[in-house]
Amino acid sequence: MSSPAPSRGEIDARQLEHLLAAAVVLVLVLAAGIAGVAVATRRGPDPAPAFAQPLTAPVPADPSARVAWADAAAGPTGVPARALVAYAGAEAAARDELGDCGLSWVTLAGLGRVESDHGRFGGTALDEVGRPGEPIRGPELDGTGGNREIRDTDGGTVDGDGSYDRAVGPLQFIPTTWAEYGADGDGDGVRDPDDLDDAALAAARYLCADDRDLRRGDDWRAAVLAYNRSNAYVDRVRREAVGMAAAVPPV
């Protein structure tokens, strides 16, 4: 004996059940996919822990306290107090501007020592506002002497050279990099690569780019390599940073 044909209401109810079941399956599939993406993009173990940024205490948040800190740290580190003020100011600004990048002044001091001896290259020195008494310029990037060739990109407005680019200031920014990362670290309304306050904050932005966490060795090494693609350079900056951290140990 055949069963009676389902009514229209029974058909609609079954279709609704099927649609609800399909929706539940779709939600589960999407959730699994999202979880899979999260797992895939999560950082794994640090493959270069030996390069982790040397540990030292955070600099004071208050500007006047940073000046006192710099005066006390200048002797043990051999870094001019005015340079330390700039590096410490950039670390403090990075905490606010760049989130949890983890930048420490010791990395900036390592770069500053290698790039210009903290603004003292060629016998000059920083003045009270953080500018070298004489402008610091790298050689023309004309492809000779192991340098890259970079034809003029700024009309000479940043580096004073209308033929080729040159690195500028105590942290040696080339004009194209300054155009992207240049900063006003001292709040005077001007972005100036010859001003170490500005250059230090620009370096912080550059080092922290690409969501790097400088407390991780792989990210710290990648950041310094981005500054200068030389393993010997990375090793030297790290030696300087380690020395700074040892001179001003964590408290």
Question: What confidence tens digit (pLDDT) does each residue in 230-242 have?
Answer: 999 999 999 999 9
CA 174 to the chain's CA centroid: 16
> In DSSP terms, which residues pair with 164 in a beta bridge?
151
Under the banding of pLDDT at 50, 70 and 90, the label for residue 8 is: very low
Secondary-structure breakdown of the chain: helix, strand, coil percentages, each rounded to the nearest 5: 50, 5, 45
Please say if the pLDDT value at position 243 is more than 70. yes
What value does the mean pLDDT take over residues 202-219?
95
DSSP string, 119-184: TTGGG--B-TTS-BSS--B----BS-TTPPB-B-SSTTTTTS-SSB---BTTTTB-HHHHHHH---
Measured CA to CA, the distance from residue 224 to residue 230 in angstroms comes to 9
What value does the mean pLDDT take over residues 59-86?
96
Residue 108 identity (one-letter amino acid): L
pLDDT at 31: 41
Query: What would the pLDDT profile of 14-69 be if each residue is shown by its tens digit?
Result: 554 544 444 433 333 334 443 343 333 457 889 999 999 999 999 999 999 999 99
Measured CA to CA, the distance from residue 100 to residue 85 in angstroms comes to 21
Measured CA to CA, the distance from residue 172 to residue 32 in angstroms comes to 48
pTM: 0.82
Greater model confidence, 96 or 198: 198
Measured CA to CA, the distance from residue 248 to residue 251 in angstroms comes to 9
pLDDT at 98: 80
Under the banding of pLDDT at 50, 70 and 90, the label for residue 251 is: low
Helices 105-116 & 81-97 angle (0-180, nearest 10): 130
